[in-house]
Amino acid sequence: MAFNVFGDNSVTSAALDDNAITSAKIAASNVTLAKIENLADQRILGNVGGSAAAPSALTATQVRTLINVEDGADVTDTANVTSAGALMDTECSSLADVKALNQSVISGASPTFGTGNMTDATNKRFMTDAQETKLDSVETNADVTDTANVKSALGAAMPSDALTIGDSDTTVTIAGNLTVSGTTTTVNSTTINLNDHNITLDSSNDGSALVDGAGITISGGSADDLTFQYLLSSDRMELKKGSSFADLKAGTFTGALSGNATTASTLATARNIGGVSFDGSANIDLPGVNTAGSQNTTGNAATATKLATAVTIGGVSFDGSTAINLPGVNQAGTQNTSGTSGGVAGGVSLVNGSGTVFSMFLGDLITSATNSETKANVIYNIDANFVLPEPVSNGSGPGHTGAVKFIRNSHASATRTITVDGSSKKINGESSFDLPAGASAICVSDGSDGWLIF
């Protein structure tokens, strides 16, 4: 190969044939930049052809493309840095912490953090394993505002038609109205506080009357329940324990009451006693009883301690105030027993100062409780209840005006009752007279209304 060598030992490129000088013939570091062809201003040697090739002078645009930097890029301009996805130093409160980051935190990475590395902020908190387990059980795209999702979730959580909300120490607050449908509402709490001033029962009643049996029941457990219920047939409320009415105690009742009170402060209507008004609120004084004055005491008493006018029995005065002894009967002496009765001589005569009132002879003694005899004046010795004949106004017969019956109850212990023939006839103004065992009574007919007993 022939080439020219100049006086300064230089060789022109034209003087070199291809492959005349191989790289092996050039010593290392002996080709300087000054020996390379001059480049145009703002050019860089490089290759952007996509494959191996001789270097070429790259333009600024080609260089920016090669290093992926936009035209006019400024690493101190916040907008450019942010647009590039980078972080400005001024945006970091602690560059040391960023530089100390030794784990990937990009999407898909699985960094490990301790609770000391993060702050449990108000709206960002750590979860326990139990809380994470609950969160994991929430279905994808769960939406608690979607009615279908809520119903479906509640149905899945209630296989036995039962739902528990909260724990025993949880307070559940319902901000709006609460409607409970169904047939039974059970409240197991021990205390119920209601702000309502009125409780309405049977609100679904669309009839024209109250519902029979509406009210309140207090359970008696194994004993009878206590009920306060409305009884439609009587139009009233009833308080009962079981099937019986229960007692109710109160300080004051206002309104009309039916029935009788066990006790009362005053009578509803004042009554006169001995002419003095008495309502029970205070004691009263009766003229002729405990104060000066008199009482109207006309008429006949059913019983008396003594006769108004004394009579004589067997010649002995008798007013009923004390027992008497009869000569010839229970003490020494004789009785006038002249005359006959039923063939038997002797008898008993009652006399007063004017003479003989009536006479009863021993033959008139009747031992049976009957009034079938025709005599007016008879001695009865009875051992059973007795009916006096009906009084008549004529002058004969067993019940004529002034007829006398002397009746003795011969029973040792039983009281006997004396009545009168004729439903309107009386004994001392009463319908009957009780004669104690061993006692005696004198009955005198008034000829019209009844008999008087002494």
Note the pLDDT of residue 331: 72
Note the pLDDT of residue 454: 75
Residue whose structure tokens are 């039923």: 342
Note the pLDDT of residue 95: 75
Q: Give the Cα separation of 35 and 26 in Å (integer).
A: 13
Q: Are residues 285 and 366 in the same domain?
A: no
Note the pLDDT of residue 325: 83
Note the pLDDT of residue 220: 93
Q: Are residues 289 and 418 in the same domain?
A: no
Report how far apart the first and last C-alpha atoms of the chain are (Å, whole number).
196
Is the residue at 69 inside a domain? Answer: yes
pTM of the model: 0.32
Q: Are residues 355 and 409 in the same domain?
A: yes
Q: Each residue of 254-280: pLDDT tens digit?
A: 888 887 777 888 888 899 988 899 999
Is the residue at 58 inside a domain? Answer: yes
Q: Are residues 425 and 322 in the same domain?
A: yes
Q: Are residues 364 and 402 in the same domain?
A: yes
Q: Are residues 77 and 24 in the same domain?
A: yes
Q: Are residues 326 and 445 in the same domain?
A: yes
Is the residue at 380 inside a domain? Answer: yes
Identify the domain boundary among 64, 91, 118: 91
Q: Are residues 350 and 439 in the same domain?
A: yes
Q: Are residues 24 and 44 in the same domain?
A: yes
**In a 10 Å sphere around its CB, with 0-12 CB exposed, 13-18 middle and 19+ buried, how is residue 275 labelled?**
exposed
Q: Give the Cα separation of 253 and 113 in Å (integer).
A: 77
Parent domain of 291: 270-299
Is the residue at 339 inside a domain? Answer: yes
Note the pLDDT of residue 86: 72
Note the pLDDT of residue 351: 47
CB atoms within 10 A of CB 53: 9
Tens digit of each residue's pLDDT, the chain (454 residues): 455 555 566 666 665 655 566 666 777 777 777 777 788 888 888 888 889 888 888 888 888 888 887 777 777 777 777 776 777 777 777 777 777 777 887 888 887 766 665 666 566 666 778 888 888 877 777 777 777 776 666 666 555 566 677 777 888 888 889 888 888 888 888 898 989 999 999 988 988 888 999 999 999 999 999 999 999 999 999 999 999 999 988 888 888 888 777 788 888 889 998 889 999 999 999 888 888 887 777 766 667 788 878 888 877 888 888 888 877 677 766 666 554 443 333 445 554 444 444 444 443 455 554 555 566 677 777 788 888 888 888 777 777 777 788 888 888 888 988 888 876 778 888 888 888 988 888 888 887 778 888 7
Note the pLDDT of residue 357: 45
Q: Which residue type is seen at 452?
A: L
Is the residue at 111 inside a domain? Answer: no
Is the residue at 98 inside a domain? Answer: no
Q: Are residues 332 and 393 in the same domain?
A: yes
Q: Give the Cα separation of 327 and 331 in Å (integer).
A: 5
Q: 75: Cβ–Cβ under 8 A, 6 or more apart, which residues?
A: 81, 86
Q: Give the Cα separation of 393 and 398 in Å (integer).
A: 11
Q: Give the Cα separation of 418 and 384 in Å (integer).
A: 9
Note the pLDDT of residue 114: 66
Identify the domain boundary among 91, 106, 124: 91
- CB 375 within 8 Å of CB 358: no
Identify the domain boundary among 46, 69, 91: 91
Q: Are residues 286 and 342 in the same domain?
A: no
- Per the structure, how many domains does the chain have? 3
Three-class DSSP labels, the chain? CCCCCCCCCCCCHHHCCCCCCCHHHCCCCCCCHHHCCCCCCCCEEECCCCCCCCCEEECHHHHHHHHCCCCCCCCCCHHHHHHCCCCCHHHCCCHHHHHCCCCCCCCCCCCCCCHHHCCCECCECCCCHHHHHHHHCCCCCCCCCCHHHHHHHHHHHCCCCCCCCCCCCCCCCCCCCCCCCCCCCCCCCCCCCCCCCCCCCCCCCCCCCCCCCCEEEECCCCCCCEEEEEECCCCEEEEEECCEECCCCCCCCCCCCCCCCCCCCCCCCCEEECCEEECCCCCCCCECCCECCCCCCCCCCCCCCCCCCCEEECCEEECCCCCCCCECCCECCCCCCCCEECCEECEEEEEECCEEEEEEEHHHEECCCCCCCCCCCEEEEECCCEEECCCECCCCCCCECCCEEEEEECCCCCCEEEEECCCCCEECCECCEEECCCCEEEEEECCCCEEEEC
Is the residue at 340 inside a domain? Answer: yes
Is the residue at 229 inside a domain? Answer: no
Q: Each residue of 76-109: pLDDT tens digit?
A: 777 777 776 777 777 777 777 777 777 887 888 8
Q: Are residues 288 and 356 in the same domain?
A: no
Residues in the chain: 454
Note the pLDDT of residue 346: 43
